[in-house]
Amino acid sequence: MAIRDLIPWGRQESRVPARTDQPSDQQHPLVSLHRDVNRLFDDVFRGFGVPALNGWGRSLDWPTVELSETDKEIRVTAELPGIDEKDVDIRVEDNVLSIRGEKRAETEDKERGYSERTYGRFERHIGLPRGVEEDRASATFKKGVLTIVLPKTAETIESRRTIPINAS
């Protein structure tokens, strides 16, 4: 197989670079290198307690969040399935929103035969713009979705202005 076979030069059909019925010593060197590099990264991150980067399991920035902003508030929504609200801690310090918590297993390890679920502590930090009223922040937790509302200060709302664009 040539290198040009790996690059999709507008071909309509998709080609797999290596056949699975070939012994590993006859596979193309780039396919072997790709597999070895993936294995290396999985082994390195597994040593630090970080989930593998193969698309399965929890990603490195769990929980996933959604941010929205209006003229009056910033809204942060985080998905926390399988977690009780008592296991979540929310703080705002130095214009950084921190969401911390822990997802605990319902069964003991010896009772579990196979599991793709993830458990353990999590922590997510989100930088906030200036002008957020930290004292008036509120949070709700419903059906595994955490919603945090951070009102903006009156000064921030009033200081906004639109900058006109001049056509040259």
Give pLDDT tens digits for 53-90.
444 444 456 788 999 988 889 999 999 988 888 999 99
**Residue-range domains of the chain with CATH:** 3-47 (no CATH), 65-106+118-157 (2.60.40.790)
Write down the pLDDT at residue 128.
Answer: 87
The percent helix, strand, coil of the chain (3-state, each to 5) is: 25, 30, 50
Mean pLDDT of the chain: 76
Q: Average pLDDT for residues 119-135, to the nearest whole number?
A: 87
Q: Return d(Cα 55, Cα 65) in angstroms, integer.
A: 18
Contact between residue 122 and residue 64 where contact means Cβ atoms under 8 Å apart: no
- Backbone φ and ψ for 63, nearest 5 degrees, come out as -80, 155
Counting residues of the chain whose pLDDT is more than 90, the rounded percentage is 21
Q: What is the pLDDT of residue 57?
A: 45
Structure tokens at 130: 């200036």
Q: Which residue has the higher pLDDT, 119 or 149?
A: 149
125 has a pLDDT exceeding 60: yes
- What's the predicted TM-score (pTM) here? 0.57
Identify the pLDDT of residue 18.
Answer: 46
**For residue 129, is pLDDT > 80?**
yes
pLDDT at 52 over 60: no
pLDDT category, 148, cuts 50, 70, 90? very high
Cα distances from 162 to residues 13, 69, 165, in angstroms, run 50, 16, 9
